[in-house]
């Protein structure tokens, strides 16, 4: 059986990839409108506080959810268990964000359907001024 | 601002947000995939989704989270959502009906924020998304 403590010790907090993203105005508007947003801060480029919907950064990925040498945990395909988005500041069209990927946590839970392993993938986004603007945690679940 | 700001002092524990019914039509999903660049067949094509063992084409989880954010922005115009946490408990199939609900479950007087529990229920009555948001009202 996989030693989760050893995996935690080796991988939690280790940044394994980064990428840059330029925030596109049309994508920001399409996202907000499709979600039924009616607040002009998120839909109207003429609004003085125009910005991306708070969870827009959750679609920005470095392309890799796990470090290259990360051990295989559990069986089957991972299930998307959910997303947590923390907003530290506004993300505006034209911003250049740097996203840094890390493993934030690894743990297991046992329930009626057996033991499940949870891997929390974290992306921290800073803008072109070096300000942390968004943190996105993606929860991936595998059966053990 | 989309409407009159809801004052922090006017929010009470247990307040319920107005129930909303999000647009789960294919054009809406297609618009979201343009914004997200998540143009996967499982979101746009029932047959392709069923071939993957799914009950039909699915509403992207991030779009569901976006419905919750839009509800919060209408309930408390001008607010800032500091954090939103969602758990995807089951598939939400496109071109169906769903209900988005919310209720205030905690109030932090020091931070002047409120915690709102949120759900999306599909047309069979199953809760497919649950979430919690920390909201800072504008006033």
pLDDT tens for each residue of A76-128: 667 788 999 999 999 999 999 999 999 999 998 898 878 888 899 999 999 99
Q: What distance in Å separates residue B9's CA from the closest CA in chain A? A: 22
pLDDT at A66 over 90: no
Mutation target to probe the A interface, by most A beta carbons within 10 A, among B22, B61, B70, B115 is: B70
Q: How far apart are CA B63 and CA A26, in angstroms?
A: 16
Tokens of A66: 């796990």
Distance in Å, alpha carbon of B110 to nearest chain A alpha carbon: 18
B5 touches chain A (CB under 8 A): no
Would you state the CATH architecture of domain B13-136? Roll (3.10)
pLDDT tens series, chain B, 139 aa: 556 778 899 999 999 999 999 999 999 999 999 999 999 999 999 999 999 999 999 999 999 999 999 999 999 999 999 999 999 999 999 999 999 999 999 999 999 999 999 999 999 999 999 999 999 999 8
What pLDDT sits at residue B3? Answer: 63
The distance of A38 to chain B (nearest Cα, Å) reads 7
What is the structure's pLDDT at A80? 82
Specify the pLDDT at position A115: 86
Given an 8 Å threshold on Cβ–Cβ distance, is B70 in contact with A35? yes
> What residues of chain B, 58 to 77, have a C-beta less than 8 Å from chain A?
61-63, 65-67, 69-70, 73-74, 77
List of E strands, A23-111: 75-87, 96-111
Residues 93 through 112 of chain A touching chain B, CB cutoff 8 Å: none
pLDDT for position A77 = 63
**Domains (range + CATH), chain A:** 4-23+62-143 (3.10.129.10)
Q: What pTM was computed for the model? A: 0.94
| A94 and A35 Cβ atoms separated by less than 8 Å | no
What is the predicted pLDDT for the residue at A81? 85
Q: To probe the interface with B, which of A26, A35, A104 has the most B CB atoms within 10 Å?
A: A35
Which residues does chain B have within 8 Å of residue A40's beta carbon, measured at their own beta carbons? 1-2
Q: What are phi and psi of A85, to 5 degrees?
A: -120, 125
pLDDT band at A65 (very low <50, low <70, confident <90, very high): confident
Confidence of residue A1 (pLDDT cuts 50, 70, 90): low
Q: What residues does A75 pair with on adjacent strands?
A: A143
**What is the SS3 assignment for B4-63?**
CCCCHHHCCCCCECCCECCCCCHHHHHHHHHHHCCCCHHHHCHHHHHHCCCCCCECCHHH
Q: Which residues of A touch B36 (CB under 8 A)?
A: 27, 31, 59
Q: Which of A31, A36, A38 sits opposite B36 (nearest CB)?
A: A31
Mutate to test the interface with A, among B62, B71, B81, B132 (most CBs of A within 10 A): B62
Which residues on chain A are in Cβ contact (under 8 Å) with B21?
none
* Domain boundaries along the sequence of chain B: 13-136
Q: Is residue A77 left, alpha or beta, with left meaning phi > 0 and alpha meaning psi from -120 to 50?
A: beta
A81 touches chain B (CB under 8 A): yes
């Amino acid at each position: 059986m996989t030693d989760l403590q050893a995996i935690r010790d080796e991988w939690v907090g280790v940044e394994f990839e980064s990428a840059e993203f330029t925030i596109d105005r049309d994508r920001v508007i399409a996202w907000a409108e499709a979600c039924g947003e009616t607040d002009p801060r998120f839909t109207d480029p003429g609004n003085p506080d125009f910005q991306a919907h708070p969870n827009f950064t959750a679609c920005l990925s470095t392309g890799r959810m796990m470090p290259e040498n990360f051990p295989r945990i559990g069986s089957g395909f991972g299930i998307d268990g959910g997303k947590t988005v923390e907003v530290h500041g506004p993300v505006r069209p034209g911003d250049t964000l740097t996203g840094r990927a890390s493993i934030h946590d690894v743990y297991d839970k046992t329930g009626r359907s057996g033991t499940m392993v949870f891997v929390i993938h974290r992306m921290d986004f800073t803008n072109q001024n070096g300000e942390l603007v968004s943190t996105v945690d993606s929860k991936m679940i595998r059966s053990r | 601002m989309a409407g009159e700001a809801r004052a922090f002092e006017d929010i009470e524990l247990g307040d319920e947000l107005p129930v909303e019914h999000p647009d789960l039509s294919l054009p809406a999903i297609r618009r979201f995939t343009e914004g997200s660049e998540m143009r996967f067949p499982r979101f746009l094509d029932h047959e392709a989704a069923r071939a993957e063992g799914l009950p039909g084409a699915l509403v992207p989880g991030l779009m569901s989270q976006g419905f919750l954010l839009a509800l919060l922005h209408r309930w408390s115009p001008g607010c800032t959502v500091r954090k939103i946490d969602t758990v995807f408990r089951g598939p939400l199939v496109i071109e169906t009906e769903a209900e988005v609900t919310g209720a205030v479950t905690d109030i932090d007087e020091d931070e002047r924020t409120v915690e709102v529990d949120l759900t999306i229920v599909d047309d069979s009555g199953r809760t497919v998304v649950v979430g919690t948001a920390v909201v800072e009202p504008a006033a």
